[in-house]
Amino acid sequence: MKKFNTAPISGMQELLPSMQARFNDYKTAVYETYLAHGYLDIETPTIERAEILLAKAGGETEKQIYKVVKTAELASEADQALRFDHTVPLARYVVEHANDLCFPFKVTQIGRNFRGERPQKGRFREFYQCDVDVIGWQTLPLAYDADVIATLADALKVLPIDKFQIRVSNRKILAGVLTALGLIAKQNEIFGVVDHIDKMSQHDWSEALREVVANDEKAEKLEKFVRENRGEWREISSRMTIAGTSDEWALYREGVSELGEVLDILDAALSPELRGRVEVIADMSIVRGLDYYTGTVFETVATDYREFGSLCSGGRYDSLASNYTEQSLPGVGGSIGLTRLFSVLKNYNLVSENITRPVDVCIVPVSDQEIMASLQLAERLRQKSKKVDVILTDKKLGDKMKYAAKVAKAAVVVGENEVAAGSYNIKNLESGETKLLEI
């Protein structure tokens, strides 16, 4: 007999029922927070035309994408692929259904995305992303950038992490600095290095910046600008707003003005519950990897667990739909990568070990004679919104009780006498306490 490898493909999350229940708790809490902030739920298909997915994707994405082919068509090139994020399918959705939507379109998508990455700790090939996005028709006020960040921050509060730091910037600021320094042609390479400021030693980062800039004086200016401008906005904004008044600093000034507006509104939008847990800073090192961001960009770290990396991130994308339509559809969005985050929390033992048994009551017939009465009793308890399991095996009573203790919070033993009397005891399987069952 052929033996198969029954482990899931590496890079795919697969949980036992008790852990799955915890994962679902977080996912549901995130989802409900998004709805509480007025976002509407949609689902786009898992499979999209490859040309749609790759229209704006960078080289790394193209390498990681899963193509999908029917067996018979394997020889020809695949023209369908699995989505790698929710944002690109959303742009297609909005163009396709524009006449039926209400703008600004506030939308949430929670689902599985796919990247064919080399599996490694904390990197998944299939993973849940929990997204919120707002898409405007022609225009979209900056206040929605704050709305997205405040919503994501509110969703993070369901996690077993006490304190967060939200780091916000605007790509126009650093692009403006590069413009003024005559370095804008190297924007992608320089952003790539700036992004790594917390992943490299101070010395290595300086060296890397010097190398990519290829001009020591300019590299030094750039380094100073980034290093000095990470912190509370009211502390750094005064010196940031006085720098550069000439024409070549126009983009820079636009970015600074936009960032100030977003941070002001964010301050008002944060829920009272969150104010003690969330610190918002401006951070000029934040640029985000994806090419489609055009303005606001943000990341979030756990204050006491910076090594977790970014818990959620996103930004403003003003021209994502430009390949599909001539309409201007500016958007802003962000996402919690729940699968990665859950895996990190598990590794740090932050997911409660006190596993909740998912079934409320397990009914234990003493013998097959009591199965019918047990099934009917179960139905009566379900009418009271209880989750009820009935043991239907013909095992010994002791074995049945062991099963009950694993899946349920309480047990009701149904024997000949109980059926005759129509009266049952319920045993709390956590405390051991027994009392009369009220039906």
Residue 314 β-bridge partners: 298, 334
388 binds its own copies (CB under 8 A): yes
Distance separating alpha carbons of residues 190 and 154, to the nearest angstrom: 33
DSSP string covering 256-308, please? HHHHHHHHHHHHHHS-HHHHTTEEEEEETT---S-TT--SEEEEEEETTBGGG
Among 254, 324, 346, 366, binds its own copies (CB under 8 A): 324
| By CB under 8 A, residue 6 contacts its own copies | yes
User: Which of 52, 90, 194, 286 touches its own copies by CB under 8 A?
Assistant: 52
- Say what the alpha-carbon torsion angle 108, 112, 114, 118 is, to the nearest 10 degrees: 120
Q: Is 130 or 150 the residue whose CB approaches its own copies more closely?
A: 150
By beta-carbon proximity to its own copies, the closer residue of 306 and 380 is 380
**Core vs surface per residue 287-306: b (16+ CB within 10 A) or e:** bbebebbbbbbbbbbbeebe
Could you give the CA distance from residue 415 to residue 422 in angstroms, rounded to a whole number? 10
User: Does 179 participate in binding its own copies (rule CB under 8 A)?
Assistant: no
Of residues 276 and 307, the one with the C-beta less far from its own copies = 276
**By the rule CB under 8 A, 306 interacts with its own copies:** no
Which is closer to its own copies, CB of 4 or CB of 431? 4
Nearer to its own copies, 281 or 371 (CB): 371
Mark residues 224-263: x for contact with its own copies by CB under 8 A, - for none.
----------------------------------------
Q: For the segment 266-295, give every residue that binds its own copies (CB under 8 A).
A: 268-269, 271-273
Nearest to 236 by CA among 226, 222, 249, 251: 226
Site for its own copies contains 416 (CB under 8 A): no
Element (H, E) at 413: strand 408-414
Which of 256/408 has CB closer to its own copies?
408
Can you tell me which of 51, 248, 291, 433 binds its own copies, judged by CB under 8 A?
51
Cα-based distances in Å from 264 to 142, 168, 294, 299? 11, 12, 20, 17
Q: Which of 385, 398, 421, 436 binds its own copies (CB under 8 A)?
A: 385
The reply to whether 323 sits near its own copies by the rule CB under 8 A is yes
Distance CA 172, CA 256 (A): 8
From the number of C-beta atoms within 10 Å of its C-beta (0-12, 13-18, 19+), residue 67 rates as: middle
Segment 103 to 162, residues that bind its own copies, using CB under 8 A: 103-104, 106-107, 112, 114, 116, 125-126, 136, 139, 141, 143-144, 147, 150
Residue 109 and residue 43 in contact, taking contact as beta carbons nearer than 8 Å: yes
Shortest distance (Å) from residue 313 CB to its own copies: 21
Question: Which DSSP symbol is given to 438?
Answer: P
* In the complex, minimum distance from the CB of residue 364 to its own copies, in angstroms, rounded to a whole number: 12
66 interacts with its own copies by CB under 8 A: yes
Q: State which residue, 180 or 388, has the beta carbon closest to its own copies.
A: 388
CB of 206 to its own copies, least distance (A): 35
Note whether 364 and 412 are within 8 A (CB): yes
Cβ pair 284, 229 in contact under 8 A: yes
- Hey, is 156 helix, strand or coil? helix
Q: Give the nearest distance from C-beta 233 to its own copies in angstroms.
A: 16
Q: Is 84 in the site for its own copies (CB under 8 A)?
A: no
Question: Toward its own copies, which CB reaches closer, 19 or 350?
Answer: 19
Q: Which three-class secondary structure state does DSSP give residue 185?
A: helix
Contacts of 110 (CB under 8 A, 6+ apart): 27, 30, 31, 34, 41, 128, 129, 130, 131
Nearer Cβ to its own copies (214/372): 372
Helix axes 250-269, 233-242, angle to 10 degrees: 160
Binders of its own copies among 352-381, rule CB under 8 A?
358-359, 362, 371-372, 375-376, 379
Looking at the Cβ atoms of 6 and 246, the one nearer to its own copies is: 6
Residue 387 in contact with its own copies, rule: CB under 8 A: yes
